[in-house]
A and B are shown apart, each in its own frame.
Chain A
């Protein structure tokens, strides 16, 4: 499944679709990290607004993406976790510890701008 990855300056924006299989998620993880390397990106925003289920595998994959990208010296922000999805994740005991999250794309970009400003 094709996941649109948009390059906006030093930030990559990946928009996840609703029905991602494990294979899709694995492919995405590799693809995203490769793009970060290729474009020397400083940050990645993963937009999960469309995802209607976040199970253990999906949240583990998101954590791994964030950790890999951090090892490259870049930031990851997960944006758009739907309220029902957040509720289900908490019930299931899933956390995205150590991974930045924001309400939506706009907030995610604002968070990164703020962060880059203070580190520059």
Chain B
């Protein structure tokens, strides 16, 4: 199977749709169930939405990852936006600074198996998530 790495530039609401569609296609190609592909596509939608809401533009990278006896998908959302001053606060349910629902990050964490966030105020934010095939 040759599923390469896909980069999706995020700078408009149309790109959110495009990113989650490409994520679903890749997840399906990798053999994820429809249910898991939906979780992955939903997580991508939220991550892309955060990029638009907080940084205006950025990038989503989708790729296959190999673990010990398992395969998965990695989704990396990165931007050079304002960054998150307090990550712990941002990971709490109900927290938002953009007037959105503020469920983004904790929700994405629940949708996926692995979740990592790095952010530097003034430099940008990178959220890296993974989901493993059952």
Q: Is B103 an interface residue (CB 8 A)?
A: yes
Interface size class for chain A?
20 to 34
Residue of A nearest to B103 (CB): A93
Partner of A93, one of B14, B37, B41, B110: B110
Q: Which residues of B contact A92 (CB under 8 A)?
A: 42, 46, 103, 107-108, 110-111
Residue of B nearest to A84 (CB): B38
How many B residues touch A, CB cutoff 8 Å?
A: 27
A79 CB to nearest B CB, Å: 18
A84-B35 in contact given A56-B104, A93-B103 (Cβ < 8 Å): yes
Partner of B16, one of A22, A83, A87, A88: A22
A55-B21 in contact given A22-B16, A91-B39 (Cβ < 8 Å): no
List CB contacts (< 8 Å) of B23-46 with chain A.
24, 34-35, 37-39, 41-42, 45-46
Partner of B107, one of A57, A82, A93: A93
A56-B103 in contact given A84-B34, A92-B42, A92-B110 (Cβ < 8 Å): yes
Per-residue contact bits, chain A 7-29, to B (CB 8 Å; 1 contact, 0 not): 00000000000011111000000
B66 CB to nearest A CB, Å: 25
Per-residue contact bits, chain B 40-59, to A (CB 8 Å; 1 contact, 0 not): 01100110010000000000
Q: Is B13 an interface residue (CB 8 A)?
A: yes
Q: Is B20 an interface residue (CB 8 A)?
A: yes
Per-residue contact bits, chain A 75-98, to B (CB 8 Å; 1 contact, 0 not): 000000011110111011110000
B49 touches A21 (CB 8 A): no
Write the residues of chain A forming the contact surface with B, with a CB cutoff of 8 angstroms. Answer: 19-23, 52-57, 60, 82-85, 87-89, 91-94
Q: Name 15 extra pairs, CB < 8 A, besides A21-B16, A55-B45, A91-B111.
A: A19-B17, A19-B21, A21-B17, A22-B16, A23-B14, A53-B45, A56-B100, A56-B107, A60-B101, A84-B35, A87-B38, A91-B107, A93-B106, A94-B101, A94-B107
